[in-house]
Amino acid sequence: MTLTPEQVIAANKANLETLVGLTNKAFSGLEQLIELNLAAAKSTLADSQQQAQSVLSVKDAQELLALQASLFQPLAEKAVSYNRHLYEIATGTGSHLSSAVEEKMAEAQKAFASMIETATQNAPAGSEAAVAAFKTAVSAGNNALESVQKAVKQATDVAEANYKNMASTALNAGKTAAKKR
């Protein structure tokens, strides 16, 4: 199978468009991360100013302990919220990138299968056994690749569920600790 210059140009153009799209998505994720960090920094600064003023207005040790206990819960909630937003940005960007990779892999597999089919149709007489063995090997390779992709997706789903459970547990533990003080 011979590629024409037009086919090569079209393939390069499609690959460039994909690269530009992926780069834009990566920068979008980076922008979201920067915005999240700026918001967190502003919030931390405002909270620090407010807490400093509260500490300066404390009159005795009992009031200081009560103030300290009241500051713990919002801090835990903000940490969990920050991590949740960070996770959402990372998984959103990663999901978009991985779906683009999966799409390109599917296209490549389809093109490879088409090339194999064309090559096997033009195979010399008497090579049927070799062609059948080659097709079987290609099919087995594709099945193995699909199995790996499914396993990675399952592992990602489990990791996401574990993260959500961990964040919920941490927030509940923070609430419990704040109530005990």
pLDDT tens, position by position, 58-83:
898 888 888 888 887 788 888 888 98
pTM for the model stands at 0.63
- Average pLDDT over the chain reads 83
Report the pLDDT averaged over residues 118-146: 80
pLDDT at 46: 93
Residue 89 in tokens: 């940005």
Cβ contacts of 53 within 8 Å, gap of 6 or more: none
pLDDT tens-place string over residues 163-180 = 777 777 766 766 666 566
Query: 3-state class of 181 per DSSP?
Result: coil
| Residue whose structure tokens are 């978009």 | 96
Spell out the alpha helix ranges (H) of 1-123: 5-56, 61-121
Tell me the domain boundaries of the chain.
Answer: 7-180
pLDDT tens-place string over residues 77-130 = 888 889 889 989 998 888 888 888 888 888 887 877 787 777 777 778 888 888
How deeply is 137 buried, as exposed, middle or buried, from its count of CB atoms within 10 A (0-12, 13-18, 19+)?
Answer: exposed
